[in-house]
Structure 1
């Protein structure tokens, strides 16, 4: 397991996220470990009008990460956190695994300021 994967695996939902300047960004909403095989992002399959509600919910949930395709592919390969925040218009930003400086009892510390984190679209 790479060091990035090890770092991401120590993060849990609800943890506080603090940027490189000491600003509290928000709390971890989603932890996604990287998948080196996730090179491309598949377009969602058309939803069959006869499909069940569970399938519809499942296809909607697969829309993470909600960012441009090139960035989404990188997030999926390297692993990422989705952070609920009031600093972004959409209410969430994404943190690439390599932007995590440390994971402590106090929360997740980042290597970049909050302004550099890509917002959810």
Structure 2
């Protein structure tokens, strides 16, 4: 089963590991590792009314991960993903679906796709 294999692979990844794309380009470093949740199907939008206290305002503007469109977020949450800090994206981060990880070896994460295919953080 591919998803089980993806989860075993992603469980070997830790924050700070370098990420290399399919063309051998260093994308950046792993900032977040999220295992898949087969029950995850939606992303909860923040409340329209943040409340009156400063704490409520800060909480309402906090970014939920992954910070991508809802359809992609549901896919990432379902299958698992990496958030990679990179200088190659204007937003400073990209997401890697677990099934796009080719291998974890020599302390590096190797991808099946080029960096240009990775969805950027919004």
Same fold (TM over 0.5): yes
**SS at 1:2 equivalent:** helix
Runs of 4+ in structure 1 over 6 Å off:
none
1:40 to partner: Cα distance: 1.2
1:57 to partner: Cα distance: 5.0
Deviates more, 1:65-74 or 1:40-49: 40-49
Any idea what the Cα deviations from partners look like across 1:25-62, whole Å, max 9, x if unmatched? 00000101110100111112443334747x9459725x
CA 1:42–1:20 in structure 2 vs 1: closer, same or farther (change >3 Å)? same
Q: Contact between 2:43 and 2:74, CA under 8 Å: does it hold in 1?
A: yes
- Residue 48 in 1 paired to residue 51 in 2? yes
Mapping 1:54-65, distance limit 5 Å: 56=58, 60=62, 63-65=64-66
Deviates more, 1:14-23 or 1:40-49: 40-49
Partner of residue 11, structure 2 = 9
RMSD: 2.0
- How many aligned positions are there? 119
Mapping 1:31-110, distance limit 5 Å: 31-45=33-47, 46-50=49-53, 52=55, 56=58, 60=62, 63-110=64-111
TM-score (norm 1): 0.88
Gaps of 5+ in 2: none
TM-score (norm 2): 0.87
Q: Distance in 2 between matches of 1:52 and 1:72?
A: 26
Q: Distance in 2 between matches of 1:87 and 1:27?
A: 12
